Structure 1
Amino acid sequence: MSEKARNRLLSLLWLALAGAAATAMAFASIYLYLKPGLPSVESLRDIRLQTPLRVYSRDLKLIGEFGEKRRNPIGIEQTPELFVKAILAAEDDGFYSHRGVSIKGLMRAVTQLLQSGSIQSGGSTLTMQVARNFFLSREQRFVRKFNEILLSLQIEQELSKDEILELYINKIFLGNRAYGFQAAAHVYYGRDISELNLAQWAMMAGLPKAPSTYNPLANPSRALVRRNWILRRMLELGYIDQADYKNSITAPVTARHHPRDLDMDAPYIAEMARKEAVELFGDSAYTDGYQVITTVDSRLQQAAQEALQRGLESYDGRHGYRGPEQRLNEELLQDSDQLVDLLNEIPILGGLEPAVVTAVEPKKLQVQLRDRRVVEVLWENGLESIRPFLSENARGPRLQSAEEMFAPGDVIRLRRVEIDPQAEIEVANSGDEGAATQGPDPFADPGEPGAPLEEPEVREEWHLAQVPAAQGTLVSLAPEDGAIRALVGGYDFRQSHFNRATQAARQPGSSFKPFIYAAAIERGYTAASMINDAPIIFEQANLQDVWRPENDGGDFLGPTRLRKALYRSRNMVSIRLLQALGIDSALSFVERFGFERSKLARNLTIALGSSALTPVEMARGYAAFANGGYRVEPYLVDKVLDVNGDAVYRALPLTVCRDCPEPGSEELQHEPLDLEEVQMEAAAIEPSEEPVDLRTLHVNPVYSESSEQARPRAPRVISPETTYIMDSMLKDVIKKGTGRKALVMKRGDIAGKTGTTNGPRDAWFSGYSPHLATSTWVGFDSNDELGKNEFGGSAALPIWIDFMTAALEGLPERHLPQPDGIVTVRINPNTGLRTSGGGMFEIFRADRVPGRESYRSISPVYSNDPDTSDESPRRERESLPEELF
């Protein structure tokens, strides 16, 4: 080699070394410049993937999910091996051999950049994608790429390959709000990743490259090309054999959108739980994977939802058909696509689907559904029974033809009804002895008499319906600790998010009376005490306002026993009783049930339930009658688990403990009233000197959260004797009073009270068995009148019966144990006094048994000795006829 050539080669060598040194220095400079701004790779070990908040029933049925990102993290050991190979074939087949960066991939990216003048691919490995997804942006800048390379090298030093792959599987965005392959499997296929087949795994593995471009929902053809390329790569790499490849490459695209399926529909419950989770954990509740376990029983919740919807639809049907929801123009009817879009914008409420009338005949309608199907509504499926709504108290005559009410373009509501032909056949044959006992001949040839028939298909019918204008609510508590077992805040959450169970403060009417009666029993009255049911007038001090309370029906019974006054719901007795007790004394007693005194009017109208209360507050009050006299607080969230399944919150509710000693029981003791004096006052009460506030009281809702102290005992608020007597009196409301419809349940352990306010505008029934305390309400959000023939017993009680029948199914009857201090005595029902023959039996506290009747006394006479004889000293008062009214 010549000297000149040698010098040239040496120069090139020095240039190469200088270039390498310069490159090394450049990379070192870049490293030193970027290193301080790089995040700690160690933080990946403690990374918290954004996982939505999920709400469950007590039996672990999913009822709600909140959060922008759908994610279901899984471990690498739960990920199918063949699916992992599909990912490697699609993204990085050298993953287990490189150190985080693929020089070959980067050189390919640089070559594409030089040839095209733009970035075609990034040459990223799976490790580099993890670095970008956790720490960096997706912007195409060289600085970001250098950061990505440096981070990848660090990640490979700190984490194992399986740990890196697990992060990738759970973090990557895959379209349709799905983050991670497990969530994507549920979005696109409705199943776990482990339940998919090879073709579906390959389809999923193609998503990370471009979730929008290779989305099998948005671009099924391009997604198919990408899937088949991945399958071919898997074959080339030896991950699958030729048979697997052929079977999978010919498989159709089966992906379709699967919205998050909830196990049960309880949106009011889900929303309440969401709010409580946010109060506990702030905005991180939506991202940290908390699981809220509520106290709700899924079976009872379903029964409550159905009972409320049926009850409101029944009320609505009694008041007539209000006509189509809207009427579309002729031009819109001709545009099928626009018509379908419009129907899909109208929500399905209470299972009632929107439809558009396309043709009208005298005895049927032709309608189009939101899925483009055209069906018929026959005359007998709701048309023949239509009576137009005129007002809450009046309906028009029945239609003679569908053309009187409907026209093409009308938007109406339909209910889908499934008809089982087999059930119809069984019903038809039930009266035919031969048909009922003779089965098909399995040996007969098809078509011959007696040959077995193919199972008939279930057919559907479409019945005319309408969304109720009235609203309602139902809340049911476990009496032992106040756990909410079922709660429905309205007809349909999609119609209104307003939760009437916790937010609608309405006047409870007569359903509030039992708390006043309990105060009287506690203070010395008995179920046999006589109070005068007679007219009374109250004038305010300025004589401008006069209150003339009346009984429903306008009649008066004269002297009436407390038991009868309660089950007959006599207003005059309640008012006289309250005046005799004293308003402040009665309010102090009522507070024990959990009612806030500031919400209760300080006048005699509270005896008639004039103070606005929420249904959940009423259910809490009645729970004390159901559990033997203890106050509990309603609560919904039982516990909260973190993303790892560890409990981070547990409710500690007030809980009944019957075997525990009664601390503070002295608080329940009262100085007995002078019963002779107060009953004389109640028999002929004078007008109140205190002005009566006739205004309706509206208050804000109250929802009590469970205590965070050590699990406390529920405090006793009424004595066992008073509770037992009140339970007996409230059972009579059902046996012989305003709640008689509940006799259809054929249970002896149910009790409660109806409530109806002026108008009427509010209809209530609050009641219980020892298993559940349940309150129902029906009314209009606008406070309109329900109709003159609507009462608590007609509008609210049927909902209570429907729900409680389902809720108590299979549960044995339970009754409160009789306290030692209770005795049964025969009395004269007309005087409330003891009698030696005839009459009826009544229960009393042993120290409050009435004396024996005399010809001169009709007022109760009390003795502390239950065995008082006729010769024993007694206090008597002669009653004059004019005192009766």
Structure 2
Amino acid sequence: MAKKRFSFSKPFLFTALAGLFVFIIVSAVFMRYIFSGLPPVYEMEEYTPSLTTKVYDRNNKLIHEFSIEKRSMVPLEDIPVDLQNAVVAMEDRDFFKHAGFSIRGIFRALLHDLVTGRAKQGASTLTQQLSRGVFLTQEKKLIRKIREIILAIQIEHQFSKREILQLYLNEIYLGSGAYGVKAAAKKYFDKELSEITTGEAALLVGLIPAPGRYNPFANPAVARQRRNLVLDVMHEQNYINDEELAAAKAEELPTKQPAPEKKPGLYFIEYIRRILEPKYGMDVLWKAGLNIYTTIDIEQQALAEEIMDKKLQEYDEQVAKGLGIEIDPNDSEADAPTPTSEEEPTEAEPETKADYPRLQGAFMVRDVKTGAVRVLVGGRGFSESKFNRATQAKRQPGSSFKPYVWMAALQKGYTPATLVKDLPTMFYYDGRNWRTFDENADLYSLDLAKQPFIASKDFNVWVPQNYGGRAEGWVTLRKGLEKSKNLVAVNLIDAVSPRAVIQVARKAGLTANLPNVPALALGVSVVQMDEHLAALTTFANGGIHTDNYYIERVEDANGRILEQHIPLETAAFSPQHAYLLINMMKGVTQRGSGAYVGRLGRNIAGKTGTTQSHRDMWFVGMTPSTAAAAWMGYDDDTSHENGARFTGSTTARWWTEIMEQILKDEPNDDFAVPEGISFSYINPITGKLAMPTDRNKFLEAFITGTEPQSF
């Protein structure tokens, strides 16, 4: 009897083939889905973690770092061997043997998932942890786990074990905003990575699974237990011997997080952040590892901050004493009311902690010729108020505005020896313009003459006075500036017109709103320190204007230059007029209101400024190479009139103390005399040529051809 052969029926074959086809399609779709969530290999090869942007001063000294993640990349050879061994021992003892994943670990994790019904994050190799930390999310799903393993295999294929370990140690998050072992060493121990001990290395590795839980500052007992566990595992795997184990366990844990270093230049740093963040975006500035080379001299910055704060604290104590208030000399952290930035809103400032007024100040230094800003002090205490009084505050310049008036007079044909009126003058407003009252050669006293105007609602009357109330009649243009005579200033602006003064200020570099009124001569408009300093520096630079600048160049992480400062000069005034003005401003520091500066024994041109009721006190001074401006006052515009009566001469005192240090290595050069300038001895009272017998004759500068011709 013949055997019956087994055969498949057609329906069965069709069903099997269809099932196989569906399986292949489903598998293909699933694998496509899996691989679609993985980065391409070239991205892994080019991967660069979020880096720290570094800021350098003019001498290439690192002064600040911008980073959302506190991270620094360190080559493996610079990472202590104990730290490398601790990571391998604790996190992946088979690291140098596997191909990116552990079969035993995967089965253990899968079994746990099946039993508990929830995903388990453990059982990952260093390579898997790296793939998850760099490229994948932290969600605990099976799909992510599969992608993690595939990516780990690719990483093992593309990188050596040493490269993987190096990347892992620089990438791992260790709590408190610290990414990578170098940042963590600084954060927890205030040490360089090369200085950490075996016990400290074990503590850092112990943080990896749960930085918050094992934080030594928050949970010292748990942190110690975890550190000792890491040390025990290292000992079991023969990375350390018995003596090293005992010594490491005996080490004390850090008990207090290192206090942030009080760094100088924070107002400057904030200013360049405002410049660069809108230009490059937050991600690039904070994460791309830029190198920013700035103009600041951090040593000069530090001493300027220290001296200004010390002097203003002394003045605070004088004011408090005058008010009958006893204060602690060390109470320099008290807050005064502070304004908010006009550029962006800030959080409400803390309530005033002191029961006495607290002065604020600003100080700025720049290079006369280039405009490079060397020092920028925006106030006392960046932590108290980020409002930058050098670049954001708008204050009245007072008499420090007068050089613009004097320049307008020079351009109208005045000379330093020209006699100008130092007599009371009454200005009245007729509803359209300010006009000068002609007292008809003093036939009427101004007090009598102004009475009809006072009674009329259609007229406003203004009668300016010199500081101290004394008028000399007629003085030379030079003496009017040296003694900062208000009556000379208002009579000058009346003669040359406020519009001419505004044109001078605009050419010098001021962009502030300047009213077309006689009071402009006394600095009633508001200006920013940075603009005011740059504008006045134009006169010291032979009439050439250069804008302030703060950044020399910006490079990307690979050293490619993204931007570089390009000098831009504008010829604003003739070198002859600029020299005449700056030569008169030298007299301010030799015989005038800024004479305190003369103790430096240098050729310094300057101008003091004190506003009405002593609300703002200025001094701006310049050598041929360096210019600096100082301001002090109260943020809430409190008057000093009834207190210590500080003036611009007061500000000149601490300006001098700071600049004595800043200028100590600068040659004592004088301002260069341009062609077309001649010198003649004059009588400083008459403004005419000096007689041979004159005892107080003065050597004055003139544009050639404008010298006095008579005695």
Q: What is the TM-score normalised by the length of structure 1?
A: 0.68
CA contact (8 A) 1:533 1:570 kept: yes
- 1:849 is aligned to 707
Judging changes above 3 Å, is the alpha-carbon distance between structure 1 residues 259 and 53 closer, same or farther for their aligned structure 2 residues?
farther
Aligned to 2:472: 557
Measure the CA separation in 2 of the matches of 1:793 and 1:180: 52
- Note if 1:524 corresponds to 2:413: yes
After TM superposition, the structure 1 = structure 2 runs for residues 633-672 of structure 1, keeping only pairs within 5 Å, are: 633-654=547-568
- Relative to 1, partners in 2 of residues 1:192 and 1:83: Cα closer, same or farther, differing over 3 Å? same
Equivalence map 1:413-424=2 (5 Å): none
Map 1:10-409; keep pairs closer than 5 Å.
30-113=30-113, 122-254=122-254, 256-261=256-261, 264-284=263-283, 285-321=285-321, 352=332
Selected match of 1:752 from 601, 606, 619: 606
* 2:666 aligned to which of 784, 805, 811: 811
- Give a deviation string over 1:207-233, Cα, whole Å, max 9, x none: 212222322232333333332333333
Structure 1, 102-111 or 476-485: larger mean CA deviation? 102-111
| Alignment-derived partner of residue 616 in structure 2 | 762
**Preserved contact between residue 319 and residue 357 of structure 2 (Cα < 8 Å):** no
Report the alpha carbon displacement of residue 474 of structure 1 after superposing the two structures with TM. Answer: 1.1
Determine if the alignment matches structure 1 residue 593 to structure 2 residue 593: no
Does the Cα contact within 8 Å between 1:471 and 1:779 map onto a contact in 2?
A: yes
Tell me by how many angstroms 1:301 deviates. 0.8
1:769-848 equivalent positions in 2, closer than 5 A: 769-788=623-642, 790-839=645-694, 840-841=697-698, 842-848=700-706
1:219–1:643 CA distance, 2 compared to 1 (3 A)? farther
Shift in CA distance, 498/249, structure 1 to aligned 2, threshold 3 Å: closer
Label 1:154 to 1:162 Cα distance change in 2 as closer, same or farther (>3 A): same
Aligned pair in 2 of structure 1 residues 38, 299: CA closer, same or farther (>3 Å)? Answer: closer
- Which of residues 566, 570, 574 is equivalent to 2:489? 574
Change (3 A) 1:826 1:298: same
Please, which runs of 5 or more residues in structure 1 have no aligned partner? 1-21, 327-347, 356-410, 414-464, 655-713, 854-885
8 Å Cα contact 1:828/1:838 also seen in 2: no
What's the counterpart of residue 545 of structure 2? 631
CA deviation digits over 1:292-318, x for unaligned, max 9? 332111121122212321332233222
Give how far 1:485 is off.
0.9
Secondary structure at 2:469 match in 1 = coil
Answer yes or no: is the 8 Å Cα contact 2:505–2:535 preserved in 1.
no
What per-residue deviation string (whole Å, max 9, x for no partner) do you get for residues 615-666 of structure 1?
1112112222333332111111222233345432222233xxxxxxxxxxxx
**Counterpart code for 1:268:** Y
| Structure 1 residues 217 and 324: CA distance shift in structure 2, 3 A | farther
**Structure 1 pair 219/251, CA: closer, same or farther in 2 (3 Å)?**
same
Residue in structure 2 matched with residue 471 of structure 1 by the alignment:
360
Q: Name the aligned partner's letter for residue 759 of structure 1.
A: S
Q: Secondary structure at the match of 1:252?
A: coil
* Sequence identity (%): 35
**Whole-Å Cα distance in 1 between the matches of residues 494 and 411 of structure 2?**
16
8 Å CA contact 1:309–1:350 kept in 2: the answer is no
Name 2:594's counterpart in structure 1: 739
In structure 1, C-alpha distance between the alignment counterparts of 2:657 and 2:623, rounded to whole Å? 14
Alignment CA distance shift 1:843-1:28 (3 Å): closer
Aligned position for 1:450: none
Q: Secondary structure at the match of 1:277?
A: helix
Contact 2:119 2:141 in 1 (8 A): no
Aligned CA distance change for structure 1 residues 106 and 256 (closer, same or farther; 3 Å) = farther
Q: Distance in 2 between matches of 1:323 and 1:186?
A: 47
User: 1:378 is matched with which residue?
Assistant: none
SS at match of 2:163: helix
What's the CA shift for 1:351?
Answer: 7.2
Matched with 1:717 is 572
Between the aligned partners of 2:380 and 2:545, the Cα distance in structure 1 is 30
Taking structure 1 as reference, are residues 237 and 271 closer, same or farther at Cα in structure 2, changes over 3 Å only? same
Q: How many angstroms does 1:159 deviate by? A: 2.6
Residues 255-274 of structure 1 show CA distances to partners (whole Å, capped at 9, x for unaligned) of: 64235536x32221111011
The answer to whether the 8 Å contact 1:473/1:776 transfers is yes
Q: Distance in 2 between matches of 1:47 and 1:324?
A: 62
Structure 1: distance between partners of 2:329 and 2:270:
18
Distance 1:625 1:826, change over 3 A: same
Instruction: Give the aligned partner of residue 510 of structure 1.
Output: 399
Distance, in Å, in 1 between the alignment partners of 2:641 and 2:142 is 75
Are residues 134 and 296 of structure 1, via their aligned partners in 2, closer, same or farther at CA, if it must alter by over 3 Å? same
Deviating more after overlay: 136-145 vs 230-239: 230-239
Q: What displacement does 1:470 show? A: 2.6
Q: Distance in 2 between matches of 1:495 and 1:474?
A: 17
Distance 1:770 1:850 in 2: 28
- Report the secondary structure of 2:70's partner residue: coil
Whole-angstrom distance in 1 between the partners of 2:29 and 2:533: 72
In the alignment, the residues of structure 2 paired with residue 79 and residue 24 of structure 1 have an alpha-carbon distance, to the nearest angstrom, of 48
Q: What TM-score results when the alignment is normalised by the length of structure 2?
A: 0.84
Partner SS state of residue 320, structure 1: helix
In 1: Cα distance, 2:326 partner to 2:141 partner: 56
CA separation of 1:164 and 1:317: change in aligned 2, threshold 3 A = same
Tell whether the 8 Å contact from 2:325 to 2:356 is kept in structure 1 after alignment: no
* Counterpart residue type for residue 846 of structure 1: T
Gaps of 5+ in 2: 1-21, 336-350, 432-457
Equivalence map 1:429-448=2 (5 Å): none
What root-mean-square deviation, in Å, do the aligned CA atoms of Structure 1 and Structure 2 show?
A: 3.0
- In 1, the alpha carbon distance for the partners of 2:233 and 2:679 equals 89
Task: Say whether 1:614 aligns with 2:614.
Answer: no
Aligned-residue offset at 1:595: 1.4
Partner deviation per Cα, 1:442-475 (whole Å, 9 max, x = no partner): xxxxxxxxxxxxxxxxxxxxxxx98752322111
Q: Deviations over 1:403-427 (max 9, x none)?
A: xxxxxxxx999xxxxxxxxxxxxxx
Distance 1:38 1:820, change over 3 A: closer
How far the C-alpha of 1:97 sits from its partner, in A, is 1.3
Q: Distance in 1 between matches of 2:125 and 2:590?
A: 77
* Cα distance, 1:480 vs structure 2: 1.6
Q: Report the Cα offset of residue 121 of structure 1.
A: 5.5
Maintained 8 Å contact 2:96/2:161: yes
The one-letter code sitting in structure 1 at the alignment partner of 2:301 is Q
C-alpha distance in 2 between matches for 1:181 and 1:517:
62
The offset of 1:281, in angstroms, is 0.8
2-structure distance, mates of 1:325, 1:74: 53
SS of residue matched to 1:847? coil
User: Counterparts of 1:156 and 1:835 in 2: how far apart (Å)?
Assistant: 93
Cα drift, residue 613 of structure 1: 0.8
Match of 2:372 among 476, 483, 489: 483
SS at structure 2 position matched to 1:473: strand
Q: 2:598 is paired with a residue of what secondary structure?
A: helix
Residues 225 and 51 of structure 1: CA distance in aligned 2, closer, same or farther (over 3 Å): same
State the distance in 1 between where 2:279 and 2:167 align: 28
Contact 2:399 2:522 in 1 (8 A): yes
Number of residue pairs the alignment of both structures matches? 644
Q: Is the Cα contact below 8 Å between 1:294 and 1:636 reproduced in 2?
A: yes
- Offset of 1:588 from its aligned partner? 2.3
Indicate the SS of the match to 2:508: coil
Asked if 2 retains the 8 angstrom alpha-carbon contact of 1:760 and 1:791, the reply is: yes
Distance in 2 of aligned mates of 1:121 and 1:570: 80
